Amino acid sequence: MDGVTTHRAFIALGSNVGERIEMIEQACLEMERASIKVKRTSSLFETAPMYVLDQDPFMNGVCEVETSLSPMELLNTLQSIEKELGRKKLIDKGPRSIDLDILLYDQEVFEHERLSIPHKLMLERDFVLRPLCQLIPHERSPLQGKNLTYLSYLNSLPPPESKPIATTHISPSFPPLHSNDPKRSTHIMAILNLTPDSFSDGGVHSPNDYTALTTTVRRFIDSGATIIDIGGESTRPGSAPVTEAEELARVIPAIRHIRTAIPEADHIAISIDTYRARVAEEACAAGADIINDVSAGLLDPDMLAVMARTGKTVILMHMRGNPSNMTKLTEYPDGVVPGVAAELLERVRAAEAAGVRRWRIILDPGLGFAKSQPHDLALLRDLPALRTEYPGLDYFPWLMGPSRKRFIGRITGVDKASDRVFGTAAAVTASVVGGADIVRVHDVHEMWQAARVADAIYRV
């Protein structure tokens, strides 16, 4: 904003009526339309109600915004947005379709009969401090005598009786992911490669044979798949790229067919496996729910903007280089887990800067992509650390894709990729133990069995 003084503010987001996540997302869009730039968001947490207990659970989060508005102008704009979105305040701290509260405004202390900054109750509320600490854990309140960091205040609170559950939205017809719920089930993502040259199933699925496509999709669903990942270009090591037109011709008709001609797939999420922005955008328009980019936006400069514009959930995978040269980029001086963590965090920040909401991001460490066999094994072994011990990577869902990978063949001596079922089952089990939310697999029925047993043992 040239010549205009801008301010940094933090807004608490809350809803416990109707489609809560959609309402929060709409509020963010309305703030943008009002020239309140949403810079970053926290995760969204489902939390038990506080104060007025006889009401439904809330969805709560925090966003950092940039604005030229004064505190009172900002308050008036936010209350106008609440009203436009249908909020009716019948009971103080009671049910509401949308709640937008100013927590902080620069480092100012501001008092008015309608507004107190910092927010008077924020330091006693887990459901405010937890998401705020994802954004500014080490900053301090501007109030005199409040010299602890926000993270210190959060850690000093008694644990909430009901654990806040991180929530990642996929679609209205698909259950949200709850990455910190110890009892969650692992989702099975079935691989549908419409390519002639994928490393283990190239040529198996034709993009033009709709009868066979219908049979395959129904078999995936009957076998336990909840997500189908559709790809029109191989990303195996050394693969040659296809044209954008060819990739579109392979995947778009297939997505449309699944969405319009296979009723059983109504509650199945469709993921588009592509690094091209135009393919992702057209796939979403055709009915895809998830953008799965092996490069996390690095191979197409328009991809992150498309991810933000579509508002879809995205999978950011760790990779270096491209499929033709990634096998030469396997040096991790500080170790593969810290290296992958640092590089994935860079991609998360880039996605956030482009406007992708944190509650729409899934992470993938990229087994086999710019990794050696010891690297793949270390990532499987140390997934719990990757999920919880690196600031900035907390509360994300994780996808693991070990299916039929080269490291399994080297360990077992099984050369033919399609014969690596038992080795894959071991890697899938390790993924569940490590906390994966989704496993991406070729052998759907077998891996569904492996995951269900692993869930029964470990997800308790």
Catalytic residue set: 405, 440
Q: CA angle 381-382-386, nearest 5°? A: 150
For 381, the enclosing helix (H) or strand (E) is helix 373-381
128 neighbors 62 (Cβ within 8 angstroms): yes
Encoded tokens for 406: 């080269």
Report the alpha-carbon distance of residue 459 to residue 186 in Å, rounded: 9
Q: What's 359's DSSP letter?
A: G
* φ/ψ of residue 136, rounded to 5: -140, 65
Encoded tokens for 386: 């990757």
How much is the CA Rg of the chain, to the nearest whole Å? 23
Give the bridge partners for 47, in sequence order. 58
Closest CA to 322 of 239, 200, 248: 239
DSSP string for 236-255: STTPPPPPHHHHHHHHHHHH
Encoded tokens for 325: 């040269």
Please count the CA atoms within 13 angstroms of the CA of 257 that sit on its side-chain side.
20
Distance of CA 217 to the CA centre of its chain: 24
Give the length of the chain. Answer: 460
Report the alpha-carbon distance of residue 132 to residue 137 in Å, rounded: 7
Helix axes 303-310, 277-286, angle to 10 degrees: 20
Residue keyed to tokens 């590089």: 343
